[in-house]
Amino acid sequence: MGAEITQILVMLGIGAVAGWLAGIIMKGAGFGLIGNIIVGIVGSVIGTFVGGLLSVNLGVGPLLGTLIWAVIGAVILLFIIGLVKRA
């Protein structure tokens, strides 16, 4: 039971940080705690998918690698959202 809670908290933490970093990279600000978590978690899914397609090994630990791919995925997500909003 404790391991599952820890995994969920780590996932939420990575999502929040990834969403915040992607917000700064793409528009200069974050989206609030809940928005950052959502963007980061969706970005993590996108980043993991892209990383798997490219077969890229970042050569860092699993936690840092997850954060990096989550940020990359979140940036891709925000870029796509920006394109859709402009159209």
Question: What pLDDT digit, counting tens, does each position of 45-72 carry?
Answer: 999 899 889 988 888 888 899 999 999 9
Find the range with the poorest average confidence among 31-35, 49-53, 76-80.
31-35
Q: Mean pLDDT over all residues of the chain? A: 88
What is the reported pLDDT for 28? 66
> Are 60 and 30 contacting, i.e. CB atoms less than 8 angstroms apart?
no
CA distances from 10 to 18, 25, 68, 75, 78 (A): 12, 22, 14, 20, 22
Rg (CA), the chain: 13
> Are 5 and 23 contacting, i.e. CB atoms less than 8 angstroms apart?
no
Share of the chain above pLDDT 90, in %: 48
pTM: 0.88
**pLDDT exceeds cutoff 90 at 30:** no
